[in-house]
Structure 1
């Protein structure tokens, strides 16, 4: 019976998950940018405490207060007041990158039930922070706590991990037979196709989607790129943007939505589009952004093979040469149809590492979107009826 899943605790879903890499809230945007590049992680946790030698630590207030990724940095640099002087923007406190929406990150105890975790997610939590057993020795623990740089993973003597919507959905999929026959029902019959979507026209300025990109990041969805007839062409995905570098801000500021898709696509921006970006930065006298783009291009080119075009493009697009090790995908949207079954859509989303799937009609017109939150509501209602 599906009710047997209620016996599971969140610690059961955390087995094998890596410890969080962290930043203190005292860090700057530039610190966050450097940490993202060095860590090879797409997201970093931000904590209210500072574990540097000079900091006075209040362990009662040592909590994760949010998470950041490259998209937060890019969107911040895209603000009108920051485009002209990105070097100044990078000196701002990292707190400016945190969403003002409360409750996106929640601390939970390892013994909390799976049902409690689902409730918190449906109430708006995007990440649950769970303490895990430390794999660090006592000597290493002391050294780690004494580091003056940002990035200790120990807080109150513990390591922590994220528990996400994807983790819960993946866990439920492993026991999907317990929910029969619901998984075989179509998403249309279950009433979980959302019609409030974020979209932008293919030829519209990408900058017009800036607020939508920020909202999509917070809601863990994406921005649909459509033609004049409302047909889905592609998407501007925060997931893909998170694998870019800070120079993506110049692309958002100067390109159309369609060209931006090509710029952030797998393999790196085409040279002709890079030239367009530079020319438009010149036209707008955005010298700071142009210098940032030129510096990045020069440093990347010097570390790339001059006779290997693909290697050169990949290096310019990657962070610290780690692009090939990242999960990246193209700007082609992941789609299904209203008649697709719930389990098929679950598998599709998990396979592509996204929290949503676009729903299209036979003529490719956009009908809506199905998210992990929508799916969790179905399972929650079923579990409640069985409890």
Structure 2
């Protein structure tokens, strides 16, 4: 019976979760950019405390107050006031990137129930901050507090991890047999297909989608790219943009939505599109953005040249070779992706809830697009809608 899940606590979902790497709210956007580039994690937690201050201060109430990712930086650089001099924009305080909506991150204790965690997520929490047991000695803690200029992983003497919608859905999937028969029902019959989608035309300027990209990031969805008949061609996904770098802002300001999809696709931007971006930046006299793009091109070339001096075997086996190329790659197979028509993860109205869950989890996204047989966009199914179904079912068991 699903009632057995009511006894689970959030600590059960924290097993094996890594401790958060944190950044102080006093840092700049440039500081955050450096940390994001040096980390394999797409998101960075922001904290109210600053342990790098001198003299050292003991903070009695260190709290995570938000999170940021590369998409936040990219959208910030796309703003009109930042186009002329993006290098100056990167000196802005990180606080300008924090969303206005409150409650995106919420602190909970390890004994917090699974059902209550689902309720918080449905109220708008994207990440639940949970303290985890640490085996670090006191001496090691002191060293760690002095180690990083970007902030320690210890707050109030404790390490923290965070739980996401994906973590909860994955946990529920491990016990999906307890949710019979709803797991086998179609997403259409469950009424969880949302028709309120964020979409942009294939030939529309990509910069017209900047606000949509920001909205999709806060909603943990994506921006659909459709043709004139409303058929799904692809998507501009925050998940993909988070694996890119800040120079994508130049592409967003100069390319169409369709060309942007090709620019951010796996393998890195095509040379012909890079030339188009540079030419249009020159035409529009956006010298600051052009300089940012060219600086990256030089550093990327230097990195590639350095790597090529090693043997082919070393190059293939190196976990860091090359960093920029790896940040453009996407994990997962394309078996569930539309053939020829789009790179988006899709299902049909008749797809079962469990099948859609597996699709989303396999491709590390929080949503699946719903299409009709003629590829027309019918809507979207999100983890939030799925959790609403599971939450109602578990509440009925109380």
User: Is 1:243–1:326's contact at 8 Å kept on the other side of the alignment?
Assistant: no
The CA distance in 2 between the partners of 1:161 and 1:196, in whole Å, is 32
Partner residue in 2 for 1:72: 72
1:38 aligns with 2:38: yes
Alpha-carbon separation, structure 2, partners of 1:78 and 1:291 = 15
Match of 2:230 in 1: 230
Name the SS of the counterpart of 1:224 in structure 2: strand
Distance in 2, Cα, partners of 1:205 & 1:36: 28
Residue 353 to residue 321, structure 1, CA distance change in 2 (3 Å): closer
Match of 2:107 in 1: 107
Aligned equivalents of 2:265 and 2:169: distance in 1? 27
The aligned residue for residue 366 of structure 1 is: 377
Following the alignment from structure 1 to structure 2, what is the Cα–Cα distance between the partners of residues 262 and 324? 13
Matches within 5 A, 1:1-387: 1-54=1-54, 57=57, 59-147=59-147, 149-305=149-305, 318-319=323-324, 332-387=343-398
Q: What is the aligned-residue RMSD (CA, Å)?
A: 2.3
- Which whole-Å deviations, capped at 9, do the CAs of 1:320-362 have from their partners, x for residues lacking one? 8666697798971000000000000000100110000000000
TM-score by length of 1: 0.94
Per-residue CA deviation, residues 186-232 of structure 1 (Å, 9 max, x unaligned), is: 00000000000000000000000000000111111000000000000
CA distance in 2 between counterparts of 1:203 and 1:8 reads: 49
Verify the 8 A CA contact 2:21 2:153 in the aligned structure 1.
Answer: yes
The gaps in structure 2 that reach 5 residues or longer are 309-314, 335-340
Q: 1:328, 1:246 → 2: CA distance?
A: 26
Structure 1 alignment gaps of length 5 or more = none
Q: Tell me how far 1:40 sits from its aligned partner.
A: 2.5
* Cα distance in 1 between the residues matched to 2:322 and 2:96: 25
1:305 CA displacement: 4.3
Classify 1:55/1:96 alpha carbon distance in 2 versus 1 (closer, same or farther; 3 Å).
Answer: farther
The alignment's TM-score, normalised by the length of structure 2, stands at 0.92
Give the 3-state SS of the residue equivalent to 1:340 in structure 2. Answer: coil
Q: How many residues are aligned here?
A: 383
Whole-Å separation in 2 of the counterparts to 1:293 and 1:139: 44
Give 2:337's aligned residue.
none
SS of 2:168 mapped into structure 1: helix
Aligned with 2:154: secondary structure?
coil
Q: CA deviation at 1:184?
A: 0.6
Contact persistence 1:265–1:331 (CA under 8 A): no
The Cα of 1:59 is off from its aligned counterpart by: 2.8
**CA displacement at 1:38 relative to structure 2:** 1.4
Aligned 8 A contact 2:206 2:255 in 1 = yes
SS in 2 for 1:188: coil
Q: 1:376 to 1:249 in 2, by over 3 A?
A: same
- Distance, in Å, in 2 between the alignment partners of 1:183 and 1:93 is 45
User: How many angstroms apart in 1 are the aligned matches of 2:264 and 2:40?
Assistant: 18
Q: CA deviation at 1:135?
A: 3.6
Equivalence for 2:311: none
- Kindly indicate whether the alpha-carbon contact (under 8 Å) linking 2:332 and 2:362 is maintained by their aligned counterparts in 1: no
More moved, 224-233 vs 140-149: 140-149
